[in-house]
Chain A
Amino acid sequence: MRMTAPVRFRDVTLGYDRHPAVHHLSGEISSGALVAVVGPNGAGKSTLLRGIAGILKPLAGSIETGGLDLRDIAYLPQTVDVDRSFPISVYDFVGTGLWRRVGLLGGMGKAVRDRIAQALAAVGLNGFENRAIGTLSGGQMQRMLFARVLLQDARLIVLDEPFNAIDAKTSADLVALLRRWHAEKRTVLAALHDMDLVRANFPETMLLARGPVAWGLTSDVLNVENLAEARRMCEAFDDSAAACAVDDLPSQAA
């Protein structure tokens, strides 16, 4: 596995209708890091991940992914917009993760079929190949989505609250997959709410409350004061907010 370039935030502001949801974030996620993004609801976790995945353009500043192609980033949104009534089998759905490899017209040879079978086995979905996706339970659905991420073979993996409404067994299996990606030197970011899970598995944590409250080693970040400060954050947008003046400050000599 090649080393990935770091993800750099350069004074980035992300939001909707000019209202910032992530405000003036700067910093760097080193390559191969396993980072938990935590914070209260409305803290901007999803927004940040959408920005990294390239779905949301920054209002100001920039996010650099060090020349990573769109297809080098695997993004699993919080509410996956899957049409579960669509007649597609688990096997074919997971196979779409190989888009980068097979593209529009590429053949699905034995090597490709083996990889799909391996990915299904890795998430514990053997025997589900021919099931229609509409028949899966919530946990099975999440396993299937992880199998697709696995096949995307991405160097940067961005997961938005992947363990919501998932039982302990399933989330333990999927966390094992996260650890495997980490061992393979892929950069992994996951938005999470379960602090115990974060403490047990994520070396690095970013505590977000519109702006970064704390960011660094998980043990340093997740203390009582930091969490209390994050909770004080005001969630609602102020409709009459003035334009942010920080951008207009005279910039210091570079």
Chain B
Amino acid sequence: MNAAATIYAALIAPFTEFEFMRRALAAVVALALGGAPIGVFLMLRRMSLVGDAMAHAILPGAAIGFLLSGLNLFAMTTGGLIAGFSVAILAGVVARSTGLKEDASLATFYLVSLALGVTIVSIKGTNIDLLHVLFGNILAMDDATLLVIASNATITLIVLAVIYRPLVIESVDPVFLRTVSRAGAPSHLAFLALVVINLVSGFQALGTLLAVGLMILPAGIARFWSRDLTAMICIAVASAFVSGYAGLVLSFQTKVPSGPAIILVSATLYVASVLFGTVGGLIRQMFPGRHLEA
């Protein structure tokens, strides 16, 4: 077999031969388009761990949906959305109406949500298979799931376009936004809602534990290659897509589970960016070149 054929067999054939791989690839495109821009804003607003906390907040909602109606994707998504939105909005409202910092109030609410979910599950007492909620299964995308993920990505991009300016202004100078507009609070809540729907998308594919990975890691990568917000968002989307694609190939060829494979590829890109990135990368810092004239 010649080289071209080998490359074709390794990189392209899995997707032409197997429908489940094509579906997985479509899911990865949607996840990259929706999640990566959200991740960039999470990072710039110093909310990276908020995404992680929200992922925990969603879990009990999804579990309740699962208990009520079995392995019904719509019920689980709705449950996750309700739990996530409740926690996000309650935390946001408490932080805005009292002096409590957002992270502290969010921590409280997501812990309560988690405890509530575990309690409900244990009262029901069924030995449910939540493994796929925990770790996701991007290789088992049915039409309904794909549709949910694609819709979520579409909603994300549209809403983000609308709240983009207040979101940027609030990130850079919150007091200024408060003095010129009342759009701050609504756009912040809309942003938290976008975080939630992207996490719901992510947990179908990667599971609750890794859902936040395709949001935060690409954002971290982008940070090392550009100082411009638009460029950062584009780089984040591109690296999320590359991670998804390469992760799927890796998973197909080596039997590494697909979710972890995607995140591990992303992590490799991240390490490379930390080392070789043109903006603050370690190598660049060690060999900065001669100082300029002015």
Judge if B176 is at the interface, Cβ distance under 8 Å: yes
Asked whether A105 and B162 contact (CB < 8 A) given A87-B44, A87-B228, A132-B227, the answer is yes
B175 pairs with A80, CB closer than 8 A: yes
Chain A residues closer than 8 Å to B176, beta-carbon distance: 96, 148
B102 shortest CB reach to chain A, Å: 15
Tell which of B161, B171, B181 touches A99, judged by Cβ atoms closer than 8 Å.
B181
8 A Cβ contacts from B150-187 to A: 161-163, 165-166, 168-169, 171-176, 178-183
Alpha-carbon distance between A132 and B229 when the two chains are bound, in angstroms:
11
Does A73 touch B at the CB level, under 8 Å? yes
Residues 179-230 of B contacting A (Cβ, < 8 Å)? 179-183, 226-229
Q: B-facing mask of A86-128, CB < 8 A → 1, else 0?
A: 1111001100100110011100000000000000000000000
- In terms of DSSP, what is the predominant structure of the interface of chain A? mixed
**CA separation between A82 and B170, bound complex, in Å?**
9
The size class of the interface chain B forms with chain A is 20 to 34
How far is B161's CA from A105's CA once the two chains are assembled, in angstroms?
A: 8
**Count of residues in A whose CB is under 8 Å from the partner chain:** 29
Interface check B250, CB cutoff 8 A: no
CB nearest neighbor in B for A83: B172
- Residues of A near B169 (CB, < 8 A) are 96, 99
B171's closest neighbor in chain A, by CB?
A86
Whether A87 and B166, one on each chain, are in contact in the complex, defined by CB atoms closer than 8 angstroms, is no
A40 to chain B, nearest CB (A): 24
**In the docked arrangement, what's the CA distance between A88 and B164, Å?**
13
Neighbouring B residues of A100 by C-beta, 8 Å: 180
Cα A70 to Cα B180 in complex, Å, equals 6
11 additional A-B residue pairs with CB within 8 Å, beyond A83-B172, A86-B171: A70-B179, A70-B180, A71-B181, A73-B179, A80-B175, A83-B173, A88-B172, A104-B162, A104-B183, A133-B172, A148-B176
- Please give the residue numbers on chain A whose beta carbons come within 8 Å of chain B beta carbons, in ascending order: 53-55, 70-71, 73-75, 77, 80-83, 86-89, 92-93, 96, 99-100, 103-105, 132-133, 148, 152
